[in-house]
Amino acid sequence: MTDWEMYGKIQEHKRKGFNKSRTARLLGKDYKTILKYWDMTYEEFAAEKENAAWRRKKADAYEDYVVETLREYPDMTAAQLYDWILELRNGEPLPFKERSFRDYVANIRKTYEIEKPDKTRQYEAVDDPPLGYQAQVDMGEIILQTDTGRRKKVYCFGMVISNSRQKFVYWTEKPFTTESFIDAHQRAFTYYGGRTKEIVYDQDKILAVSENHGDIIYTGGFQAFISVVKFKIYLCRGADPESKGRVEAVVKYAKYGFAQHRIFHDIDTLNNQCMDWLERTANAKVHETTKRIPAEVFAIEKQYLLPVFDLNHNHDVKNNISYPVRKDNVIVYKSNRYRVPAGTYEPGKKVYMIVEDDTVSIADTKTGEIYAEHPLCHDKGRLIGQKRSERDKSHTQNQLAEHTLKMLGGSDTAKEFLEAIHKEKPRYFRDQMGVIKNICLQLTDDCLIKSAVVYCMERSLYSAGDFKSAMLYLNELNNTSERAYPPTVPKLPNKYRGMVPIVRDLSVYEDAMKGSVTNG
- What pLDDT does residue 453 have? 92
Give CA 148 to chain center in angstroms.
31
- What pLDDT does residue 218 have? 61
- What pLDDT does residue 481 have? 43
C-beta atoms surrounding 137 within 10 Å: 24
Taking phi first (over 0 means left), then psi (-120 to 50 degrees means alpha), and beta for anything else, what does residue 310 get? left
- What pLDDT does residue 485 have? 40
> What is the C-alpha to C-alpha distance for residues 433 and 422, in angstroms, rounded to an integer?
10
Strand partners, 372: 362
- What pLDDT does residue 320 have? 56
- Complete domains list, the chain, with CATH: 4-112 (no CATH), 134-304 (3.30.420.10), 315-390 (no CATH), 400-520 (no CATH)
- What pLDDT does residue 501 have? 55
- What pLDDT does residue 307 have? 83
> What is the C-alpha to C-alpha distance for residues 228 and 235, in angstroms, rounded to an integer?
19
> What is the C-alpha to C-alpha distance for residues 191 and 180, in angstroms, rounded to an integer?
16
> What is the C-alpha to C-alpha distance for residues 467 and 442, in angstroms, rounded to an integer?
13
- What pLDDT does residue 271 have? 93
> What is the C-alpha to C-alpha distance for residues 473 and 303, in angstroms, rounded to an integer?
11
Task: Name the residue type at position 368.
Answer: G
Q: Per-residue confidence of the chain (520 residues) as pLDDT tens digits?
A: 567 788 889 999 999 899 999 999 888 888 888 998 899 888 888 887 776 655 567 888 888 899 998 988 888 888 878 877 887 888 788 888 888 888 889 989 988 889 888 765 544 456 678 898 999 998 899 999 998 889 999 999 999 998 899 999 999 999 988 888 888 998 999 899 899 999 888 766 666 655 443 445 566 677 777 767 778 888 775 445 455 677 788 898 899 888 888 889 999 999 998 998 898 888 988 887 888 899 999 999 998 998 875 543 444 444 456 788 998 889 998 889 999 887 778 887 888 888 777 788 888 776 666 778 888 888 888 898 876 544 555 557 788 888 889 889 889 999 999 999 888 877 678 778 888 888 888 888 888 899 889 988 988 888 887 888 888 888 877 775 444 444 444 454 554 455 555 555 556 556 655 554 444 4
> What is the C-alpha to C-alpha distance for residues 360 and 354, in angstroms, rounded to an integer?
5
- What pLDDT does residue 369 have? 67
DSSP for 318-378, written as a single string: TTSPEEEPPTTSEEEETTEEEE--TT---TT-EEEEEEETTEEEEEETTT--EEEEEEPP-
- What pLDDT does residue 314 have? 44
C-alpha torsion sign, points 464, 468, 469, 475: positive
Long-range contacts of 32-38 (CB under 8 A, 24+ apart): 33/2, 34/10, 37/2, 37/7, 37/10, 37/11, 38/10, 38/14
Query: Structure pTM?
Result: 0.45
